[in-house]
Amino acid sequence: MHTNFQKQIIDNATINMINPDICWLVDGEPVYNRTRAVSMIQHGHLVEFNLYNHQWQQADWSRPVDTPLTGLYMQHAIALRQRYANVKIAYSGGVDSHTILKTFLRAKIEPDEIYYFTFLHQQSVGSKLSTNYEVERGIIDHVSTLQNWFPNTKITMIDFDIDMLELLRSMPVDQFPCLTFCGGMRTMSNITVMSLLGHTDDDTVVLTGCDKPRLDYINGQWYAYILDGGSHDVWGKNVQGFYLGADPTIHIAQCHQLKNYFQKIGLNNRADILKIQSSRNFNIRQQINDIIARDRPFDNITVVGKHTTWKSQDRFARSEHAILKNYLLDRVMRQTEQGRRISQSWTQMKTEFERITGLPHTYDVYGKFRNLDTGQTESSQQVIGKIGRD
């Protein structure tokens, strides 16, 4: 039995998460649920992720953008502030969302609200336990600084608990719009933000930090591509990616910056290009963040372990600093009843996704590939065919 608040979350999220420009195309027909779309692959259907295909088709992907990225970011922030009466930012404490805040600060404009999301925070207080090291060190310790930056901005902490996760778990994974394989933090964040916004109109936007550019190098040509795993559950009707919107100018500029960097360092082997973009080495990740003009967050927590990274809790476990601070996800999972229930729910939702789709829960669906040399757009099936011959 859902409470009235839980029902409000379901109703509002269902209405507000639908964005007709973001979906999965099954044999060319739009499907707005990931599980249902992916399940069609096992039946021989062609499935491709659609992210603003119509709008992006009009752009020239072969032409670099002359304006520096920091300038493009500021122009975009100012345009958003002028366009929307209510501008809200979903803040994770990582480089992408932190750069959005710093961009607003440089442009001397304020968002109306900043959301940040914790997980079992209230249960962790006083027990030296935390489930989100990045948030604890990168946001909570610096809320006063955020308020100094933006004195007129409301700052809201949303603390997720087992009730929210079990609410998601109760929703059929092949029916709820855009629901991921396991209803992770981003999906919970999205649903809660949609509920807080209520039945929003066209005057409200929630900005998120995803996603970074992804490049491939095939038969001597450079391609930009999109995966649904990095983008499908962070955009709704009133939710936008700051770097990936209907206007692809910023994304094109980032892609060419990254391409130029790879060429400058003489990287022309496809395997190495893919490997460096997925590297968990902090120094490599920081180099790429610098190339695409990302600001460094408040607390550079990834330096505490030689091979740690922003989102990798298992790597934090190898860090002496993290162990001393007891900021470990598995510690909460082991020592609290709610933690054990959450872990069990995640596992069950992953299993349900795999049962319905016949594919591992880590499966990603490709979107279109944009050729940065010729400007042409190719389907994922076309490009995968080339990779097979490469």
Q: Are 95 and 210 in contact (CB under 8 A)?
A: no
207-247 confidence digits (pLDDT tens)? 988 889 999 999 999 999 999 876 755 667 788 889 998 99
Q: Is residue 374 part of a domain?
A: no
Q: Which residue has the higher pLDDT, 70 or 134?
A: 70
In the predicted model, what is the mean pLDDT of the chain?
Answer: 77
Q: What number of residues does the chain have?
A: 390
Q: Is residue 147 part of a domain?
A: yes
Q: Is residue 37 part of a domain?
A: no
Which contiguous run of DSSP H or E holds residue 252? Answer: helix 249-264
146-180 confidence digits (pLDDT tens)? 999 999 999 987 766 666 666 666 666 666 655 55
Q: Give the contacts of 177 (CB within 8 A, at least 6 positions apart).
A: 13, 14, 17, 18, 32, 33
296-345 confidence digits (pLDDT tens)? 887 644 333 333 333 333 333 333 333 333 333 444 445 556 556 656 66
Q: Is residue 94 part of a domain?
A: yes
pLDDT at 157: 79
Q: Is residue 50 part of a domain?
A: no
As a whole number of angstroms, the distance between CA 370 and CA 83 comes to: 29
pLDDT at 326: 34
As a whole number of angstroms, the distance between CA 8 and CA 236 comes to: 17
Strands of the 239-241 sheet, one edge to the other: 154-160, 113-119, 86-91, 204-208, 239-241
pLDDT at 301: 43
pTM score, two decimals?
0.85
Q: Is residue 370 part of a domain?
A: no
Lowest mean per-residue pLDDT among 112-126, 158-172, 275-289: 158-172
As a whole number of angstroms, the distance between CA 81 and CA 342 comes to: 38
- Domain count for the chain: 1
184-202 confidence digits (pLDDT tens)? 445 555 555 655 555 457 8
Q: Are 193 and 239 in contact (CB under 8 A)?
A: yes
**Count of beta carbons in the 10 Å neighbourhood of residue 306:** 12
pLDDT at 80 exceeding the cut of 50: yes
**Preceding omega of 211 cis (within 30 degrees of 0):** yes
As a whole number of angstroms, the distance between CA 386 and CA 388 comes to: 5
Q: Are 334 and 168 in contact (CB under 8 A)?
A: no
Q: Is residue 352 part of a domain?
A: no
At residue 361 the predicted structure's pLDDT band, cuts being 50, 70 and 90, is confident
pLDDT at 125 exceeding the cut of 60: no
pLDDT at 95 exceeding the cut of 60: yes
Lowest mean per-residue pLDDT among 87-91, 147-151, 303-307, 349-353: 303-307
Q: What value does the mean pLDDT take over residues 81-101?
A: 92
pLDDT at 55 exceeding the cut of 90: yes
Give the Å distances, CA to CA, from 311 to 111, 297, 302, 377: 25, 13, 9, 32
Q: Is residue 324 part of a domain?
A: yes
The residues facing 225 across adjacent strands are 214, 369
Q: What is the dihedral of CA 196, 198, 203, 205, to 10 degrees?
A: 40
Lowest mean per-residue pLDDT among 257-261, 312-316, 363-367: 312-316
Q: How would you write 303-345 as a 3-class SS string?
A: HHCCCCCCCCHHHHCCCHHHHHHCCCHHHHHHHCHHHHHHHHH
Q: What value does the mean pLDDT take over residues 50-75?
A: 95
As a whole number of angstroms, the distance between CA 286 and CA 95 comes to: 10
Domain that holds residue 117: 4-20+63-221+232-241+248-343
